[in-house]
Amino acid sequence: MTRILIAGYQHETNTFAPSLADWAAFNTGEAFPAYVRGQAMVDQLTGVNIPIGGFIDQARRWQWELLPSAWAGASPSSYVTQDAFERIAQAILQDAQAAMAHGLDGIYLDLHGAAVAEHADDSEGELIARLRQLVGPAVPIVASLDLHANVTARMLRESDGLVSYRTYPHVDMAATGELAAQLMQRRLKLGRKEPLHVQRFPYLIALNAQSTWMAPAKEVYEQLIALDREHGAMLSFCMGFPASDFEECGPVIWAHGEQARMAVERLYASAGQPDLWRPEWLPAREAVSQALSLAAQHTAPVVLADTQDNPGAGGDSNTTGMLHALLQQGAGRQFPQQVALGLLYDPEAARMACEAGVGAQIECSLGKAVPIFSGGLSDPPLQGRFTVRAISDGRCRLLGPMMKGSTIQTGPSACLEIEGIYIAVASGKMQMLDRELFRAVGIHPEHMKIVVVKSSNHFRADFTPIASHVLVAKAPGPMAADPGDLPWKKLSPQTRTRP
């Protein structure tokens, strides 16, 4: 029976963000399952739309014997601490060493690909290299990657195969785990590494230009799948996470297979044109003004993305720029109780609301002024008198396509109302990628006229179907929508910060 060690390490590192990913962050998980080791990993992650869930399902169909090691994930933030990385790496290495004593046919890693540790810029490459040194050249190491991986030469060199998501929002995470299993099976059958070809882009792509729900990415990934079939390759295109300040940050296309070169060159010929990847953003006040005008003309809600405070990209989900813009333009007076914003991370306000109870009024300071990439601080907290409309323990089962079936915990949470505007306030950070996060505190987004989400693109999977329009707003926050606005120090001089 084929024996495969399985493990995972997931972190998307915004090196310009304010908060580190320490060991406690991986044990909390927040948007991810909490740190787990051994058989409990299989029990908890089977059937969940994450890559390791898909790999487990496929491996069971092929009757592989799975040797579960450790799986760790933490919400996007600044650097992974040295302590956290070493704890995770040592757990996986110890289990791999033990597995070698009884025969090991391969290692599968569920990685993000954009994790930067305090002491290792390419921390996934470091993990793969340590495993390679331990198990030698004969044991295949295959990994799945997030579409936002910053794929390095070391990751490609030390592994036998890498494959990435093909959707953003990432609705194909489990499917990518199945692709990784297929890549492992190909490697085991062949008995050696498949030919590899790689093409790196000379510029960064902003997150807001990357959605596969829209042009150009939609057409590019449709072509990728067609080229995969035509050339019998395992083709991947990572558009990169454009806020990880290290030399190899940036988009990469690669493929495994006998016709890998042809597949990569044909896809790059279509995808590599810089003019394709230039998104549009609106300042906060202009975005709200347009939303008010559109909302007056349409029944379905207008959805606004507060992209520069996206907790899925390193923000802390606590800035107030969009909230101030809504209040200054009287959004709640024009559409009373039909304007909503969330999730706003403020544990103290959430605690006060839960203690006061539904119907109570509380005086508090909501949100936080945080350091931003351009210098200075974001907008000030909102001081005011709020009505508590709903409270929750924060436990929520997601039903949208992005993480369907996952149960997350945002801690004590509440719906606060001020001047006709609903605010979903939580004690834990979570990107607004699923309507259930609003419903958990009694807000029904499909009944709103304007919905502000702290997200860049993941919200589109569950919110676009109910929206009349989607606008992207640039309120002051820690995550630069435009990579050219960031103070890069380590990025390769051959890589432009804009297309």
What would the pLDDT profile of 180-196 be if each residue is shown by its tens digit?
A: 999 999 999 999 999 99
C-beta separation of 52 from 69 below 8 A: no
Average pLDDT over residues 7-36: 92
* 308 has pLDDT over 80: yes
Average pLDDT over residues 39-54: 93
Nearest Cα residue to 458 out of 480, 435, 486, 479? 435
pTM of the model: 0.89
Q: What is the CA radius of gyration of the chain?
A: 22
> Which has the minimum average pLDDT: 27-31, 144-148, 195-199?
27-31
Q: Output DSSP code: residue 298.
A: -
pLDDT for res 33: 86
SS3 state of residue 179: helix
Residue 362 confidence class, pLDDT cut points 50, 70, 90: very high
| Angle (CA) 191 193 194, round 5° | 110
Type of residue numbered 341: L
* 30 has pLDDT over 80: no
pLDDT for res 180: 98
Residue spans of the domains in the chain: they are: 3-277, 282-480
Average pLDDT over residues 283-308: 98
What mean pLDDT, rounded, does the chain reach? 96
Report the share of the chain in percent with pLDDT over 70.
100
pLDDT for res 402: 85
Average pLDDT over residues 391-417: 91
C-beta separation of 408 from 398 below 8 A: yes
* 31 has pLDDT over 80: no
Residue 18 confidence class, pLDDT cut points 50, 70, 90: confident
Residue 47 confidence class, pLDDT cut points 50, 70, 90: confident
The dihedral over CA atoms of 14, 18, 21, 26, expressed in degrees to the nearest 10, equals -100
- Rounded Cα distance between 481 and 486, Å, is 9
C-beta separation of 485 from 479 below 8 A: no
Where are the alpha helices (H) located in 191-316, listed in sequence order?
Answer: 217-231, 260-271, 284-297
The two tokens of residue 39 are 């058989």
Residue 488 confidence class, pLDDT cut points 50, 70, 90: very high
pLDDT for res 375: 83
pLDDT for res 116: 98
* 207 has pLDDT over 80: yes
pLDDT for res 187: 98
Type of residue numbered 95: D
CATH class as words, domain 3-277: alpha beta
- Rounded Cα distance between 430 and 220, Å, is 29
